[in-house]
Structure 1
Amino acid sequence: MRLHLYDIESSTKTTILNYCSYVQWVPGSDVVVAQNRNSLCIWYNIDAPERVTMFPLKGDIVDLERNNGKTEVIVSEGVNTVSYTLDEGLIEFGTAIDDGDYHRATAFLETLEMSAETEAMWKTLSRLALEARQLHIAKRCFAALGNMAKAQFLHETSTIADQAAQEHVSQTSVVSMAMCLLNGAFRLTLCSLTQNATEEAMDMYQELHMWDECIVVAEAKGHPMLDKLRRDYYQWLLDTQQEEKAGEVQEGQGDYLAAISLYLRAGLPAKAARLAMSRDELLTNGDIINKVSMALIRGELYEQAGDLLEKVGNSRRALECYCKGSAFLKAVELARLAFPGEVVKLEEAWGDHLVQQKQLDAAINHYIEARCSIKAIEAALGARQWKKAIYILDLQDKETAAKYYPKIAQHYAALQEYQVRSQTTIVDALCVP
Structure 2
Amino acid sequence: MKSGVKATLLSFCSYVQWVPCSDVVVAQNRGSLCIWYSIDSPESITMFPIKGDIVDLERADGKTDVIVTEGVNTVTYTLDEGLIEFGTAVDDGDYDRATAFLETLEMSSETEAMWKTLSKLALEAHQLHIAERCFAALGDVSTVRFLNQTNQIVDKVSQEMGGDGTEFFQVQAHVAVLDKNFKLAEMHYLEQNAIDEAIEMYQELYMWDDSIAVAEAKGHAELDSLRGNRYQWLMETGQDEKAGEVKESEGDFQGAINLYLKAGLPAKAARLAISRPEIINNSDTVGRIAASLIKGEFYERAGDLYEKIRNNQRALECYVKGGAFRKAVELARLASPAEVVKLEEAWGDYLVQQKQMDAAINHFIEAGCSLKAIEAAIAARQWKKAVHILELQEDSAAGKYYLKIAQHYASMQEYEVRGRGHQHETKTTRAALLC
Partner of 1:316: 313
Partner of 1:247: 244
Aligned equivalent of 2:275, options 269, 274, 278: 278
Whole-Å Cα distance in 2 between the matches of residues 336 and 301 of structure 1? Answer: 23
Match of 2:393, SS state, is: coil
2:204 is the counterpart of 1:207:
yes
Match of 2:430, SS state, is: coil
Partner of 1:428: 430
Partner of 2:354: 357
Q: Kindly tell me: are residues 387 and 239 of structure 1, through their superposed partners in 2, closer, same or farther at Cα, counting changes over 3 Å? A: same
Aligned equivalent of 1:258, options 255, 258, 276: 255
**How many pairs were matched up?**
294
Whole-Å Cα distance in 1 between the matches of residues 308 and 217 of structure 2? Answer: 40
Whole-Å Cα distance in 1 between the matches of residues 122 and 142 of structure 2? Answer: 8
Whole-Å Cα distance in 2 between the matches of residues 178 and 226 of structure 1? Answer: 23
Partner of 1:110: none
Q: Kindly tell me: are residues 320 and 201 of structure 1, through their superposed partners in 2, closer, same or farther at Cα, counting changes over 3 Å? A: same
Q: Kindly tell me: are residues 315 and 213 of structure 1, through their superposed partners in 2, closer, same or farther at Cα, counting changes over 3 Å? A: same
Q: Kindly tell me: are residues 298 and 380 of structure 1, through their superposed partners in 2, closer, same or farther at Cα, counting changes over 3 Å? A: same
Whole-Å Cα distance in 2 between the matches of residues 231 and 103 of structure 1? Answer: 49
Whole-Å Cα distance in 1 between the matches of residues 201 and 140 of structure 2? Answer: 10
Whole-Å Cα distance in 2 between the matches of residues 298 and 379 of structure 1? Answer: 33
Asked if structure 1 preserves the Cα contact closer than 8 Å seen for 2:172 and 2:188, the reply is: no
Q: Kindly tell me: are residues 428 and 267 of structure 1, through their superposed partners in 2, closer, same or farther at Cα, counting changes over 3 Å? A: same
Aligned equivalent of 1:156, options 132, 143, 152: 143
Whole-Å Cα distance in 2 between the matches of residues 102 and 330 of structure 1? Answer: 59
2:411 is the counterpart of 1:414:
yes
Asked if structure 2 preserves the Cα contact closer than 8 Å seen for 1:269 and 1:292, the reply is: yes
Q: Kindly tell me: are residues 316 and 426 of structure 1, through their superposed partners in 2, closer, same or farther at Cα, counting changes over 3 Å? A: closer
Q: Kindly tell me: are residues 342 and 235 of structure 1, through their superposed partners in 2, closer, same or farther at Cα, counting changes over 3 Å? A: same
Give the Å deviation of 1:290: 1.0
Identity %, equivalent residues: 55
Using structure 1 for the length normalisation, give the TM-score. Answer: 0.60
Q: One-letter code of the match for 2:429?
A: V
- Cα-to-partner distance string for 1:48-103 (whole Å, 9 max, x where unaligned): xxxxxxxxxxxxxxxxxxx99xxxxxxxxxxxxxxxxxxxxxxxxxxxxxxx9887
Asked if structure 2 preserves the Cα contact closer than 8 Å seen for 1:406 and 1:431, the reply is: no
Gaps of 5+ in 2: 1-5, 13-38, 45-115, 124-138, 156-163, 421-425
CA RMSD, 1 decimal: 3.8
Asked if structure 1 preserves the Cα contact closer than 8 Å seen for 2:415 and 2:433, the reply is: no
Whole-Å Cα distance in 2 between the matches of residues 159 and 191 of structure 1? Answer: 18
**Which has the higher Rg, Structure 1 or Structure 2?**
2
Whole-Å Cα distance in 2 between the matches of residues 266 and 317 of structure 1? Answer: 25
Q: One-letter code of the match for 1:427?
A: T
Give the Å deviation of 1:400: 2.9
Partner of 1:40: none
Partner of 1:38: none
Whole-Å Cα distance in 1 between the matches of residues 140 and 292 of structure 2? Answer: 39
Partner of 1:95: none
2:215 is the counterpart of 1:218:
yes
Q: Kindly tell me: are residues 156 and 179 of structure 1, through their superposed partners in 2, closer, same or farther at Cα, counting changes over 3 Å? A: closer
2:301 is the counterpart of 1:304:
yes
Q: One-letter code of the match for 2:430?
A: D
Give the Å deviation of 1:174: 7.0
Give the Å deviation of 1:175: 7.8
Partner of 2:177: 178
Give the Å deviation of 1:221: 1.7
Whole-Å Cα distance in 2 between the matches of residues 184 and 191 of structure 1? Answer: 10
Give the Å deviation of 1:196: 1.9
Partner of 2:22: none
Asked if structure 1 preserves the Cα contact closer than 8 Å seen for 2:279 and 2:286, the reply is: yes
Q: One-letter code of the match for 2:347?
A: W
Whole-Å Cα distance in 2 between the matches of residues 264 and 247 of structure 1? Answer: 9
Q: Kindly tell me: are residues 332 and 255 of structure 1, through their superposed partners in 2, closer, same or farther at Cα, counting changes over 3 Å? A: same
Whole-Å Cα distance in 1 between the matches of residues 368 and 176 of structure 2? Answer: 72
Map of 1:1-400 to 2, 5 A cutoff?
A: 155-156=142-143, 160=147, 173=172, 177-178=176-177, 182=180, 185=183, 187-397=184-394, 399-400=396-397
Partner of 2:110: none
Q: Kindly tell me: are residues 154 and 305 of structure 1, through their superposed partners in 2, closer, same or farther at Cα, counting changes over 3 Å? A: farther
Asked if structure 2 preserves the Cα contact closer than 8 Å seen for 1:309 and 1:315, the reply is: yes
Asked if structure 2 preserves the Cα contact closer than 8 Å seen for 1:332 and 1:346, the reply is: yes
Asked if structure 2 preserves the Cα contact closer than 8 Å seen for 1:347 and 1:369, the reply is: yes
